[in-house]
Structure 1
Amino acid sequence: MSAVGFKDYVENKKIKDIVQKIINNPTEKYISNYGKDKIKVELLKEYGDTFGIIVRGELDENEEMKIFSVIPYKKGKLPMDIDEVDVIYSDNKDDYYVYFEDIKTGNPITFYLQNVVDYLDIDEDEEAYVENIRLVALSTEGTVILPINKDQVDKNLEQEEEEWRANLLELARDGDEEALQLLEIDAEQSAELFKVRTKHEDLLTILEGFFIPYGLNDAEYSILGTIEDFKIKTNSLTKEKVYILDLICLNFKLQVCVNKKDLVGVPSKGMRFKGICYVEGYLEFS
């Protein structure tokens, strides 16, 4: 909640008051006759530039809303190309998580699904395709750190390596054994080089970015990425300041939303962001 400007709203009574206001006057409302005998409801209330709170639940026979979850959200603006996705249902909270592999890096990523009603509205016999994913990370703590010093030659070499690796990944997905072997050799060599360098260098001077699972929650990650752009927005209710950071991390892009009070340092283009984040995403269906 802090990431979208509700840092001081941790008391149960305050949350209940906000939820009641959202039910009475949502910015957006989504309804699905899921399973014919259930009516799923999502109520979105914006409190800033594409960020706010989702109240999710079901309507009973008396049209009273049974609330399952209250979720802070930020609508992502940076699309990611994907190959295929798996949607996983978590029945303990009626939540949905999405699993996929990033095409360019092969990294597995799990995120919390924002637009559940859109997903539930797809009939089993209907052909639907996910055109892209828009990821956003809500951060509870973060730090702005210096970038790695690179000249143009370093950047060109890095780009060539990324294109070479992405091409091999594509061939490996199609069953090319030689491409798979080359990727394994590259991974072994990179790991060996990493071991050597960590004896003499700091971790943050070796790794320009990372996206590592953190804690027990599937959608929680430790993230390090380069800031390509940023904005500062104000929560219309609490007046708390929120940073929206456009990051490039391991050759893919995502937005990070973090409360100004939770960020150490002042962001600027070219600097890096390091923080603990809860990753959410929006599936865009054809």
Structure 2
Amino acid sequence: MVRYFSAIGMSDYVDQRKLDVFVRNVLQEQSNPIYRYREPGTDTVYVEVKKYMGDFAVALRGKKEEDGKVNMSVILPTVQERTYSVLLDWEIEMDDPLIAFLIGEEEGTGAQLEISLLDLVECLMEKPADAGDSLIAAFYALSTEGKILLNVERSQEDEEAYRSEEEWRRQMLKRAREGDEEALEELKADSLAMEEDILERLEEEDIYSILEGIFLPASEELLGVYTIMGTILESEKVLNPYTEEWVYRLLLNVMGLNLTLFINPKDLVGEPLQGMRFLGTGLLQGAVSWGLTQFRQKAQDMFSEDSNE
């Protein structure tokens, strides 16, 4: 996790000794907010301290020991800005009491997301008793390696056909979730036809000239890390006021999924101009918006009641 500090403008802090000094200073500052959560039915208390620095923050997460001391064993570089999406059939996986992943299917694209869960203590405190099977998650990606590729040239006619096909897939995906077997079969047939087309074109073309986007798990061992290729919709530099170091903020369209990604210029090959493509790896981080989730559920319930009248 330490290497991802580079993505929030703290490239010098990938050095463990310098990071240790930083952590000690953060814990001594009285102004940093502290969040506490007691696990129901136990004496276990989880603690999270945050150091804010403009658009970025560092979260220190730990557990109160029997002797009263708090051992901060997890250190996370984080970003305040996030992209919102609805996740379906979600679950929170906690193999470690201090490290959690939010896993679910992104509603618009059907992509399976594994998100390193931030604000863990707040999440546990605010989680409603009946959270439902869908929720609103806010997330982004931190990258430590990437390069810029040329965009895929398309005519206006090709662009319109691409958008039309993208919308068709969204509608088929929605129908398939609702139990429409015909829609499910059409999606399977479309996927097979696409695979055959790619294999045929690979005999004469480069993979990156065929695919406009890629979103695949980069490792079987590491949850939340993806190989990402997407078109750059927006590109700007953002300053970390604590270190006075700049990083890139890229808004990407990754196969229909809008994703905000942060990367240090030192870790990026090429200039990220709008319309070009980013290729690299990224760690998904995010949080659950229980407030928006409950508001959405109430709105859906009201709409359902009105429809039944």
Fold conserved between structures, TM > 0.5: yes
Distance of aligned partners of 1:277 and 1:204 in 2 relative to their CA distance in 1, 3 Å threshold: same
How far residue 62 of structure 1 moved from its aligned partner, in angstroms, is 5.4
Structure 1 letter corresponding to 2:180? D
CA deviation profile, 1:1-39 (whole Å, cap 9, x unmatched): 111122222333211111112222364332212234122
Partner of 1:99: 103
Partner of 2:239: 234
Partner of 1:46: 52
Secondary structure, in 3 states, of the residue corresponding to 1:266?
A: coil
Distance of aligned partners of 1:231 and 1:24 in 2 relative to their CA distance in 1, 3 Å threshold: farther
Structure 2 letter corresponding to 1:262? D
Counterpart CA distance in 2 for 1:195 and 1:281 is 35
Contact 1:134/1:254 (<8 A) preserved? no
- Indicate yes or no: 2:196 matched with 1:183: no
Structure 1 letter corresponding to 2:277? R
After superposing the two structures, state which structure 1 stretch, 75-84 or 63-72, moved more: 75-84
What TM-score do the two structures reach when normalised by structure 2? Answer: 0.86
Partner of 2:159: 155
Contact 1:135/1:280 (<8 A) preserved? yes
Match of 2:61 among 31, 40, 56: 56
Partner of 2:81: 76
How far residue 75 of structure 1 moved from its aligned partner, in angstroms, is 2.6
- Indicate yes or no: 2:144 matched with 1:140: yes
After superposing the two structures, state which structure 1 stretch, 184-193 or 2-11, moved more: 2-11
| Unaligned ranges ≥5, structure 2 | 292-309
Judging by fraction of residues, say which structure has more helix: 2
CA deviation profile, 1:168-212 (whole Å, cap 9, x unmatched): 111111222111111111111000001011111111111111111
Partner of 2:304: none
Q: Please show how residues 1-286 of structure 1 align to structure 2 within 5 Å.
A: 1-25=5-29, 27-35=32-40, 36-49=42-55, 51-60=56-65, 63-91=68-96, 94-122=98-126, 126-128=129-131, 131-215=135-219, 216-286=221-291
Partner of 2:297: none
Secondary structure, in 3 states, of the residue corresponding to 2:12?
A: coil
After superposing the two structures, state which structure 1 stretch, 63-72 or 245-254, moved more: 63-72
How far residue 89 of structure 1 moved from its aligned partner, in angstroms, is 0.6
Counterpart CA distance in 2 for 1:166 and 1:45 is 40
Secondary structure, in 3 states, of the residue corresponding to 2:11?
A: coil
How far residue 63 of structure 1 moved from its aligned partner, in angstroms, is 4.4
Contact 2:224/2:283 (<8 A) preserved? yes
Secondary structure, in 3 states, of the residue corresponding to 1:9?
A: helix
| Unaligned ranges ≥5, structure 1 | none
Identity value in percent: 31
Structure 1 letter corresponding to 2:284? V
Distance of aligned partners of 1:158 and 1:27 in 2 relative to their CA distance in 1, 3 Å threshold: farther
How far residue 131 of structure 1 moved from its aligned partner, in angstroms, is 4.4
Structure 1 letter corresponding to 2:130? E
Contact 1:46/1:52 (<8 A) preserved? yes
Distance of aligned partners of 1:27 and 1:269 in 2 relative to their CA distance in 1, 3 Å threshold: farther
Secondary structure, in 3 states, of the residue corresponding to 1:261?
A: helix
CA deviation profile, 1:208-261 (whole Å, cap 9, x unmatched): 111111122011111001111122122223332211111111111111111111
CA deviation profile, 1:99-129 (whole Å, cap 9, x unmatched): 11122222211110012112211467x2335
After superposing the two structures, state which structure 1 stretch, 71-80 or 215-224, moved more: 71-80
Q: How many residues align?
A: 283
After superposing the two structures, state which structure 1 stretch, 82-91 or 270-279, moved more: 82-91
Counterpart CA distance in 2 for 1:227 and 1:284 is 26
What TM-score do the two structures reach when normalised by structure 1? Answer: 0.92
